[in-house]
Amino acid sequence: MRDHAGVRGLQRGELAKRARCNIETVRYYEKIGLLPQPSRTTTGYRVYDTIYERRLGFVLRARELGFRLDEIRALLRLVDELDQPCTEARAVATAHLDDVRAKIADLKRMERLLKDVIAQCGSSKLRECALIETLFRDDRRALASTRA
């Protein structure tokens, strides 16, 4: 922590280093409002305190868990505006869980399709490469048939 013109705090680079992200990430989250604009010293330096470090950590962890920016914004709004945001946070997390489950189902379908196509690759009975043909094909029905 540095002391800039009588104000103790972290500079953006120090905050980013502590959070294990880059400076551009901090700038971006400030720009889109996930992090509030920090106070400035009389010399114009931005000063971040532990509240910023904690909030940035929250945002980064939520991103690691796959939360979209609008979901993170909703969760932060609950933190900022409500004393006990658990019920509302549960609704956001439940919707996110539904999204995660849908992605898992899509990945499982993709896995089955790729497994089938890979099994066909190298088959001496086929003139064309099954993988390449599948990727060139714009047949959504092939994907739909794997959804069972």
C-alpha–C-alpha distance, residues 8 and 48, integer Å:
9
- Give pLDDT tens digits along the chain (148 positions): 555 444 468 999 999 999 999 999 999 999 999 999 999 888 888 999 989 999 999 999 999 999 999 999 999 998 888 776 788 889 999 999 999 999 999 999 989 988 888 887 766 565 667 777 777 776 555 555 554 4
Q: Helix crossing, 50-64 with 23-31: angle to 10°?
A: 90
Distance set, CA 23 to CA 28, 45, 65, 67 (Å): 9, 14, 21, 21
DSSP letter at 129 equals -
Please check whether the domain covering 1-64 is classified as CATH 1.10.1660.10: yes
Look at the pTM and tell me if it is higher than 0.75.
no
